[in-house]
Amino acid sequence: MPEPVETSDPEGVDYGWVMQTTFVTTILVGAPIVALLSTQFSLPTWGSRVEFAIRVGAVVWILTALAVFAYAKRLEGRSQVPEE
């Protein structure tokens, strides 16, 4: 019987996990950050609001992605068993 599509056995960092975790964490952390920071600026039009959300969201996304990748890399280094 073929192996189910959703399983994987990655060597090293599981990039699928990194991408999924980055996506969820960015939404959960990024939305409140963008909302709080937007109160400090005058954003009179929808265009300015969208531009602000994209600029701040991009910074939050890249910082989250780097942090999640570093965490996964650190965990990957700890879980390896030395071969005899």
pTM: 0.74
pLDDT value of residue 31: 92
Average pLDDT across the chain, whole number: 87
pLDDT band (50, 70, 90) for residue 12: confident
Residue 42 CA to residue 60 CA, distance in Å, equals 20
Token pair in block for residue 49: 């609001």
pLDDT value of residue 49: 95
pLDDT value of residue 69: 94
| Terminal Cα-to-Cα distance of the chain (whole angstroms) | 33
Angle of CA points 67, 73, 79, to nearest 5°: 135
pLDDT in tens, 34-58: 999 999 999 999 999 999 999 999 9
Run of H or E including 11: none
